[in-house]
Amino acid sequence: MLKWGEVGLSDGISVFQEGVVQFNDYIMVMSLFVFWFVMLLILVEVVLKVGGDREGGGGLLLEAVWTLLPMLVLVFMAYPSLVLLYVGESFSEYSYQVLVIGRQWYWDYVVNGGVDSSYMVADSSIEYRVLDVDNRLVLPAFTGVEILCTSGDVIHSWAVPSLGIKVDCVPGRLNRVDLEVLGGGVFYGQCSELCGVMHSFMPIVVEVLPLGVMMNSWVEWISGLQIPYVVTLN
């Protein structure tokens, strides 16, 4: 999660978030290149007064350069963005599937036919205010997970910034996102779509278990779910 005083994006802990961080660094380099190129032109023209006595006039070459050069820069920016979007939607191999149902004002997690409702807990019993819950979503590390999102009432948004995830939960629709976490840890998020008076009290906590302790703890969590469960969207 983000830390106090941190500048920039949080470290990537999922495959997609690593791509987002790399793309951000790439765009920053491109932006700095454009900035210093423009500053150099201003320096040459204003300070050194190169060509300052010439009268203005048209020129095909000049117009072609200032038209094609920005287009080329935009192409170099757009291509990695499109590749990242494609990779984020084309992950096809996954071992686990989780259905996330947003409700006013809590989350339902459906795994293997069982359900676990996740509510925010009282401030007096937690370390992170308005961020901790009574039931965390437990996922295995280094494993492909398909997350399906929908809603039982109004539009919500299931967002965990450290994992690079933000998925809208829309009533009557099923949105999906693929996730592969590259290490264990506890990751925090919140509902990112205004959904009513208790919108700010819908925290998300994802606990990712490393391979060494994954099986026993994860199976124990699965066995504690309420089974059977019928998903209702209203």
Q: Model confidence over 60-107: pLDDT tens digits?
A: 787 888 889 889 989 998 998 888 888 777 766 777 889 999 999 899
Q: Mean of the pLDDT values across residues 48-62? A: 66
Confidence of residue 204 (pLDDT cuts 50, 70, 90): very high
Sheet holding 203-209, edge to edge: 137-140, 203-209, 185-191, 156-160, 165-169
Instruction: Say whether both 76 and 163 belong to one domain.
Output: no
For residue 92, the number of C-alpha atoms closer than 13 Å in the C-beta half-sphere is: 2
Range of the domain at 150: 96-223
**Tens-digit pLDDT profile for residues 158-197:** 999 888 888 999 999 999 888 888 888 888 899 999 988 9
Q: How far is residue 100 from each of residues 71, 107, 126, measured CA to CA in Å?
A: 41, 7, 24
* 40 three-class SS: helix
Nearest C-alpha neighbor of 160 from the set 8, 5, 16, 51: 16
How many domains would you assign to the chain? 2
The answer to whether the Cα torsion of 196, 200, 201, 203 is positive or negative is: positive
- Distance, CA of 165 to CA of 133 (rounded, Å): 19
Q: Assign residue 84 the CATH number of its domain.
A: 1.10.287.90
In a domain? residue 231: no
Instruction: Say whether both 196 and 110 belong to one domain.
Output: yes
In a domain? residue 39: yes
- Distance, CA of 184 to CA of 133 (rounded, Å): 18
Q: Enumerate residues 6+ apart whose C-beta is below 8 A from 76.
A: 30
**Tens-digit pLDDT profile for residues 103-161:** 998 999 998 777 778 888 876 566 667 788 888 888 888 888 889 999 989 999 999 98
The percent of the chain in helix, strand and coil, each rounded to the nearest 5, is 35, 30, 35
Instruction: Say whether both 100 and 216 belong to one domain.
Output: yes
Q: φ and ψ at 34, to 5 degrees?
A: -65, -45
In a domain? residue 10: no
In a domain? residue 3: no
Sheet holding 96-103, edge to edge: 114-118, 106-111, 96-103, 145-151, 175-179
In a domain? residue 233: no
Q: How far is residue 67 from each of residues 72, 74, 180, measured CA to CA in Å?
A: 9, 11, 41
